Structure 1
Amino acid sequence: MKRAGAKIKKKQQDVVRFLEANKIEFEEVDITMSEEQRQWMYKNIPPEKKPAQGNPLPPQIFNGDRYCGDYDSFFESKESNTVFSFLGLKSRLASKAEP
């Protein structure tokens, strides 16, 4: 069981590092400390995004109440340079004016 926890922690740190590096404001919610937050997360993940068995594992990423996706979706968007779109944010590149 410890290995699963370590994998989850590494994935969470990967998401947090990306958000911090890109100066994206976020709130990290520890669902192990709050039954209310855990239930909110489970309730707000679209049924088609939930695993066939068991509960979805963190990290699950939301922009407010809008579900963005899980870590695998985040990682895929990072690899294809579409994270801002994945997060429902305007790309920083679009706002930088070229001289």
Structure 2
Amino acid sequence: IKKKQQDVVRFLEANKIEFEEVDITMSEEQRQWMYKNIPPEKKPAQGNPLPPQIFNGDRYCGDYDSFFESKESNTVYSFLGLKSRLASKTES
């Protein structure tokens, strides 16, 4: 879990994407919020969803596997619900 969390954090930092890391082991309130805000179809059949779970504000983006797939297909900005930085740069 820690390696996956670090992978997400490193990517966000490298791309200068602002984020807030929430440690659900330190806050029962945050843990309950996360569980409540993951869509039912995204929850595992048994047990609780494991971190990292990625949100943009209250909008659920996905889990690590979804993040990794979006990274591999170069669609992370879309996955996160952000506008691509590439689209905002003017062509020379």
Relative to the length of structure 2, the TM-score reads: 0.99
Shift of 1:23: 0.3
Structure 1 unaligned regions, length at least 5: 1-7
- Paired position in structure 2 for 1:50: 43
Aligned residues: 92
Shift of 1:79: 0.2
Structure 2 unaligned regions, length at least 5: none
CA distance in 2: counterparts of 1:62 and 1:88, whole angstroms? 9
Shift of 1:46: 0.1
Shift of 1:47: 0.1
CA distance in 2: counterparts of 1:42 and 1:70, whole angstroms? 12
SS of 1:13's equivalent? helix
SS of 1:11's equivalent? helix
CA distance in 1: counterparts of 2:18 and 2:85, whole angstroms? 14
CA distance in 2: counterparts of 1:87 and 1:18, whole angstroms? 12
* Structure 1 segments of 4+ aligned residues over 6 angstroms from their partners: none
CA distance in 2: counterparts of 1:90 and 1:27, whole angstroms? 18
Shift of 1:37: 0.1
Shift of 1:12: 0.2
Shift of 1:98: 0.8
CA distance in 2: counterparts of 1:63 and 1:45, whole angstroms? 12
CA distance in 1: counterparts of 2:31 and 2:37, whole angstroms? 10
